[in-house]
Amino acid sequence: WIGGDSVVFWGPLAWTIIFGLVFSFFLTLLMIPSMYIIAERLKRPMAKFYGTKFIALLGFLGPFFFIFVGFMYLVRWLTGRKVWNGTYA
């Protein structure tokens, strides 16, 4: 039962589980709370300026925008495509 053909399966699965746990650790303990803090800090000034809570909900779009842009750059970097540097041509 130990060794044989199943070793080919269990090695990559173990690495997947390990890195999945590490990624979820950083996501739940660092990224999510910091996104909530950023959203709250954006929501308060927007509510004071516009005087409504509906507009203050747009404060949650800021953190999601930065996550999207970071994910876009990561995908471009992993695929080997050139990342836009702010110049045309």
38-61 confidence digits (pLDDT tens): 777 777 777 777 777 666 666 667
3-state SS assignment for residue 62: helix
Structure tokens at 24: 């979820």
pLDDT for the residue 22: 92
The one-character DSSP state at 84 is P
Side chain identity at residue 52, one-letter code: T
Mean pLDDT, range 63-79, rounded to an integer: 80
Mean pLDDT, range 24-45, rounded to an integer: 81
How many Å apart are CA 37 and CA 48, to the nearest integer? 17
In percent, how much of the chain has pLDDT > 90?
8
Please report, for the chain, the start and end positions of each structural domain, with discontinuous segments joined by +: 6-79
CA angle centred on 39, ends 69 and 28, rounded to 5°: 75
Helix axes of 32-50 and 61-79: crossing angle, nearest 10 degrees: 140
Query: pLDDT band for position 84 (50/70/90)?
Result: low
pLDDT for the residue 1: 54
